[in-house]
Structure 1
Amino acid sequence: MKKVTCECGHKNPHGTEICESCGKPIEENLEQKKLLDMRYEGVARRSQTYTTTIIDKIWMFFSSVKVGIWLIVLTLLASALGTLFPQEMYIPPTANPSIYYAEEYGYLGEIYYLLGLHNLYSSWWYMLLVAGLGVSLIIASLDRVVPLHRALKTQRVTRHANFMKRQRVFGTSSISQEEVDSTFSEVRERLEANKYKISEENGNLVAEKGRFARWGPYVNHIGLILFLIGCMLRYFPGMYIDEHVWIREGDQVVVPGTEGQYYIENDRFLLEFYDENDETFGEAIERSGNPVVKNYQTDARLYERTDAETVGDLGELVEVAEHPIRVNFPMSHDGFNFYQLDYKLNELKTMSFTLENKETGDTYGRMDIDLYDPEPSYDLGDGREVIIRDYFPDYFLNNDNVPSTRSKIPDNPVFIFEMITPDTPEGEVSFVGIRQNLEPLGENDYKMTFVDVETNNVTALGVRKDRTLPILIAGGVIFMIGLIQGSYWAHRRVWVQRINGEVWIAGHTNKNWLTLRKDIDEAIKETNLMSPLDQVEEKEKEVQVPNQTNKNED
C-alpha cells in the first residue's frame, strides 16, 4: 500500500497513527483532546493494516494477545490434567496400561486411559498446542517489535505541537527570551546528571533513558520460544532419553535410544544390610524386626560398538567405562547417566525336569529349560523326546478363560509338554507349572517331574541423556533477563521545546509516572519553568469535584 507522507516530509507506512518522525497525529481531527496512545508509538502494525488475504487473517489471529493468553491457559490446563495420574512411562514396565489404570484408579483411571491422557505430553494435540503457542509468540513479537524499533530509531527531537500537548505529562511556561537559553542549559545539565541521554535540535531538547526496558517483553518472548523449542526437541530421536532397563547378572543389553551403539553389562548386583549389632542402626533394626538396607549396587561395564570394517561386519564391542552404580552415584559417559533404580532378587532363570514313568518310578534324562529362551524340543535318548507345545512365562487365565501371559518375565512359568516315548509313540500331553502337574487330555503313563531350579539377581538401571538441557537453561536465563529488564527499568522521555514564545514540557514513560514527574521537577527547580501536570490526574479531579457538589446539593 502507498505510504502516508506527513507535513514534515517523512513517509510513514500505511496504518501509522503518529508520524514516526515529528509525532504529528495522522488523523482528521488534530485538535481533539484525547491523549495519544503511545504504547507502540502509534506505529503501523501488520495485523491491523492488512486484513484481506488468508495469510493476513492467520497473521492477525496469532498476533492477538487474547489468542496467546487462551493458548497459554489451554496448555496449562492440559498439562495439569496430565499430572492427575502417572504417565505411562512411570507405571511398572511390565504392566498393561489398559488394565493398570482401571485397576489402580478405578473408573477415573479408565477414562484417563481412554482419553489418551496417559501419553499426554507426546500426543499430537498437545504438541500442536505448544507449537501454536510458539507461533503466537513469534508472530506477536514480530508484529510489534519491528515497527516499534523503526519508530524509536526514526524519531526527531523537535516534535509537533499536537504531539506535545496530547502527552499525559504536559505543561507550558512563559519566561522572558533573555532567560530561555540559560534555562535550557540548566535543565540540560540536571537531566544529564540524572543519567538522561540528551539530544538537541534547533534549540529544543529531548532527554531519554531506559529505552532498553521497552525490549523486555520481547526478550521474554525469545526466552519462552527457546524454552518451547527445547521442550519439543525432547520428542526427537536422540535428543532426550529417559528410559530404564532390566539387566540380569552376567547379561549384556543394548542401551535404549542408542540403536546398538552402546551395551551395558551387569557383572554383579550387590545388596548389603546393616548389621543388627551396629551401634547406629541396631536399635532401629530391633524395633522394626526387619533388616535395613545399607547399599544397592550394580557393578556395571559399558561397551561401545566400533565401526564395521567390511560390509556385513557388526563391529566389536569395546569397553569404555566401568563403574559401581549406587543410589545417587551414577555412571556417566558421553552425556549418558546410569542410575540405580530397582532390583529383583532370585528371579527364576532355569527350570530342570526329568521324564518319569508313573508306574515304575523310573526316570529318563534331564532337560534344563532356559526360561528366557526355551528350546522347542529336548531329546532324552532311546526314542524319548519332550516337545514344548506352549510356554507362558507369567501364566494367568484371561477374561475368556484362556491361558495367557502377562509379560515375558518368568514370574509364574507354565509349560504344555508333549511327551513321546517308545511306549506312547502318539504322545501324551502334560500341563506343568509351579506346584501344578495336570493331565488335560486324560490320564498319562508318563509325567514331567521337577528336578531343580536356578535363579539370578536382576537390577533396574535408569538411562538418561538430555541434549535439550542447555537450550532449556538458555531459554530460562533469557526469560529472566527480559523479566528483570522490563520490571526494574522504565523508558522515560522528556521533551523541552520553544513553541509560540513559550517553553513547552512534555513527558512520557511506559510506567511509574510519579518518578518521571519527580525527574522533571528536579530538572526545572530553581528556574521559572512551571511544573507540568499529569493530565489524567487532573481529569479525574474534574470528575470528582462535580460529583461532590451534587452530593452536597442533595
Structure 2
Amino acid sequence: MTQITFKQGWRQLISGLADLRLAIILLLSIALFSISGTIIEQGQSVSFYQNNYPEDPAILGFLSWKVILTLGLDHVYTTWWFVTLLVVFGSSLTACSFTRQLPTLKSARRWQYYKRPSQFEKLALSTELSYLTLDQLIPELKQHRYKIFQEGNQLYARKGIMGRIGPIVVHISMLIILVGAIWGAFTGFMAQEMVATGETFQVKNIFEAGKLSKAQIPQDWQVRVNDFWIDYTQEGEIDQFYSDLSVVDLKGNELKQETIHVNQPLRYDGVTFYQTDWGIAAVTVQINNSPIFRLPMAKLNQEGEGNLWGTWVPIKPDLSQGVSLLTRDLKGTLLVYDTAGKLTGVVRPGMGIEVEGITLKVQKLIGSTGLQIKADPGIPIVYTGFGLLMVGVVMSYVSHSQIWALKVDNSLYLGGKTNRAQVGFEQEFLAILTALEKQQPQLVTSSSEKG
C-alpha cells in the first residue's frame, strides 16, 4: 500500500512539474528577478545601499536598503531562492521532456500500415486512384524526399522527423544554459581596480564572488600597467582610452602582453580585463633645482559637473606653505593657485612657472587605468546552450509529414497529414497526385479532400 501511495505521489509530482502553467510562472519569475539584478547595483557596500536606497522615502514606497539586504537583492544571482527557481525550472523542463516530448517522438517513430480503406477517411487529405500501383507511387515519394516503408500492398512514408526532435533539443539546450548560469554564479567573480601607469597589481578588490570562486582568483600571476593614454577628437572630446598591459608571473617574467581599449579586453587563464574607466594618479614636479618628486593627485567632488583632479605642492621645507595644481584631463594643462588660493597661471608638462618666489616645473602627468575584471567559467556552457537552442528552434520548424497508401484490387488509396505548414503539404500532396495521373491519362481519377 505504501509503495502504491509513493508511486502515485511521484507521478503527481512529475505531472505537476510538467505543467505548462508552472513553467510559464517560473520563467516570468526568473525574468523579473533577473531584471531587478540589472536595475539594483550588485555587490556594493552597506553604506552604498544606505545612501542610495534610504528608508524614508523608500523607492516605490517599499524598496529600501533593509529590504534589499534582507532579500539578497544586492546579490540576486547567488541567493538560495534564485538558484532554487532555476533548479525547479530545470526540473520542470526535464519532466516535460520525459512526459511529453519523448513520448511524442516515440509516437512519431512508431508507425503502422493502414489495412482498410475506411482508415483513410480520418486523414486530412485522402484520395482514391484507379489502376495505379505502389511501384508507380514510390518514385514520386522519393522525389519529394520521403522515407518509405512497404509491406505487400501496404505503404507508409514520412519525412521531417527532425521536427519532432527539435523541441527536445530546445529543452536540452535550456537545461544546459541553466547549468551554465548556476555554475558561473557560484564559481565566477567580479573585481575593479584603479592602477597607475608603471604599477603591478594582483586582483584584490573583489566586489562580487561566488561561493566556489576561490580557485578562479589569480594567485600565481599578476598584471603590470605598462602605459595608459587617451586619444582626443579635434573638438577636444575623449575618443578612446588605452591601456598597455602585461601579464607577469610572481618573478616578473612576462607571460602575455596586449593593448586594450573599450570593447577590446585582455583575456588570460579564464580571467578577462575590461577597460572601463580612467583617472590621474600623480604628477611629478620640481621646485627650483630640487630633485624631481612625485605627488599623488586626488579626484575632487564636482557634483556631476565633470572631472577634476588636484594636488598640493609644498614650497617650504617645513610644509607650512604650498601651492595647488588642478587639471581636468591628461592633455597636460594644469591650473596653478598660490597660497592665497588665487589663480596664478597655467603650466604644461616640461614647462615652469613663477609662483610665490619660486620656479615650479611640472615634469609629467601620470594617468591611471580603471579595469573591470571578470571570471565566469559558466560562459562556455551558456554559449553552448544558446548555440544548441538556435539549432533546436530551426529543427522545430521542420514539418513532420506522413503519407499512407493501400492497394486493394484496382484501387490505390492514398492519404496523408502533417503537423504544420498545412498549405505547403496540400500543394505537395496535389503535386504527387498530378504526377500519378499523368502516368495513366486515360483513366478517370476520383479524389476527395477533407478538413
Alignment TM class, shorter chain as reference: 0.5 to 0.7
Q: Does the alignment pair 1:244 with 2:192?
A: yes
**Letter of the structure 2 residue corresponding to residue 185 of structure 1:** D
Q: Could you say which residue in structure 1 is the equivalent of 2:449?
A: 533
Q: Does the alignment pair 1:59 with 2:14?
A: yes
**Letter of the structure 2 residue corresponding to residue 242 of structure 1:** M
The share of aligned pairs that are identical, in percent, is: 21
**Letter of the structure 1 residue corresponding to residue 113 of structure 2:** V
CA gap of 1:510–1:120, structure 2 versus 1, over 3 A, is: same
CA gap of 1:322–1:518, structure 2 versus 1, over 3 A, is: closer
Aligned partner (choices 51, 56, 73) of residue 99 of structure 1: 51
Q: Could you say which residue in structure 2 is the equivalent of 1:332?
A: 267
Q: Could you say which residue in structure 2 is the equivalent of 1:469?
A: 379
CA gap of 1:347–1:119, structure 2 versus 1, over 3 A, is: farther
Kept after mapping to 2: 8 A contact 1:246/1:459: yes
Query: Following superposition of structure 1 onto structure 2, how do residues 43-54 of structure 1 map, counting pairs within 5 Å?
Result: 52-54=7-9
SS in 1 for 2:104: helix
Q: Does the alignment pair 1:303 with 2:248?
A: yes
Aligned partner (choices 81, 86, 92) of residue 136 of structure 1: 92
Task: Report how many residues are paired.
Answer: 352
Q: Residues 476-534 of structure 1: CA distance to partner in whole angstroms, max 9, x if unpaired?
A: 221111211222x2111111114698543331211122333333322233264433322
Kept after mapping to 2: 8 A contact 1:157/1:205: yes
Aligned partners of 1:517 and 1:295: how far apart in 2?
A: 59
Query: Following superposition of structure 1 onto structure 2, how do residues 19-58 of structure 1 map, counting pairs within 5 Å?
Result: 52-58=7-13
**Letter of the structure 2 residue corresponding to residue 335 of structure 1:** G
SS in 2 for 1:531: strand
SS in 1 for 2:59: helix
Query: Following superposition of structure 1 onto structure 2, how do residues 124-523 of structure 1 map, counting pairs within 5 Å?
Result: 124-159=80-115, 163-172=119-128, 175=130, 179=131, 182-237=132-187, 240-248=188-196, 252-256=200-204, 257-258=216-217, 260-266=219-225, 270=228, 281=234, 284-285=235-236, 292-293=237-238, 296-298=241-243, 300-305=245-250, 318-346=253-281, 458-487=368-397, 489-498=398-407, 503-523=412-432
Aligned partner (choices 518, 521, 524) of residue 433 of structure 2: 524
Q: How far did 1:76 drift?
A: 2.1
Q: Residues 314-348 of structure 1: CA distance to partner in whole angstroms, max 9, x if unpaired?
A: xx665423455544554332233323322343579
Kept after mapping to 1: 8 A contact 2:134/2:407: no
Aligned partners of 1:456 and 1:172: how far apart in 2?
A: 89
Aligned partners of 2:57 and 2:408: how far apart in 1?
A: 76
CA gap of 1:524–1:343, structure 2 versus 1, over 3 A, is: closer
Q: Could you say which residue in structure 1 is the equivalent of 2:35?
A: 80
- State the TM-score, normalizing by the size of structure 1: 0.54
Q: Residues 183-234 of structure 1: CA distance to partner in whole angstroms, max 9, x if unpaired?
A: 4333333222222222211211222111211111111112222222221111
After the TM superposition, list the runs of 4 or more consecutive aligned residues in structure 1 that deviate by more than 6 angstroms. Answer: none
Kept after mapping to 2: 8 A contact 1:198/1:207: yes
Q: Residues 35-66 of structure 1: CA distance to partner in whole angstroms, max 9, x if unpaired?
A: xxxxxxxxxxxxxxx99532212211112222
CA gap of 1:219–1:462, structure 2 versus 1, over 3 A, is: same
Aligned partners of 1:329 and 1:63: how far apart in 2?
A: 43
**Letter of the structure 2 residue corresponding to residue 133 of structure 1:** F
CA gap of 1:255–1:105, structure 2 versus 1, over 3 A, is: farther
Kept after mapping to 2: 8 A contact 1:255/1:262: no
- Alignment RMSD (CA, Å): 4.0
Kept after mapping to 2: 8 A contact 1:506/1:532: no
- State the TM-score, normalizing by the size of structure 2: 0.65
CA gap of 1:230–1:323, structure 2 versus 1, over 3 A, is: same
**Letter of the structure 1 residue corresponding to residue 392 of structure 2:** G
Aligned partners of 1:187 and 1:479: how far apart in 2?
A: 38
Kept after mapping to 2: 8 A contact 1:190/1:522: no
Q: How far did 1:247 drift?
A: 3.3
Aligned partners of 2:140 and 2:51: how far apart in 1?
A: 76
Aligned partners of 2:125 and 2:193: how far apart in 1?
A: 68
Q: Which one has more relative contact order, counting CA pairs under 8 Å at least 6 apart?
A: 2
CA gap of 1:241–1:528, structure 2 versus 1, over 3 A, is: farther
Kept after mapping to 2: 8 A contact 1:303/1:319: yes
Aligned partners of 2:50 and 2:169: how far apart in 1?
A: 44
* Structure exhibiting the larger radius of gyration computed from Cα positions: 1
Q: Residues 387-412 of structure 1: CA distance to partner in whole angstroms, max 9, x if unpaired?
A: xxxxxxxxxxxxxxxxxxxxxxxx9x
Q: Residues 249-288 of structure 1: CA distance to partner in whole angstroms, max 9, x if unpaired?
A: 66543225425233234466x45575xxxxx62xx34xxx
Aligned partners of 1:530 and 1:318: how far apart in 2?
A: 86
**Letter of the structure 2 residue corresponding to residue 530 of structure 1:** S
Q: Residues 79-111 of structure 1: CA distance to partner in whole angstroms, max 9, x if unpaired?
A: 23334x34224x6x7962233333999534971
Unaligned ranges ≥5, structure 2: 205-215, 284-295, 297-309, 311-364, 438-442
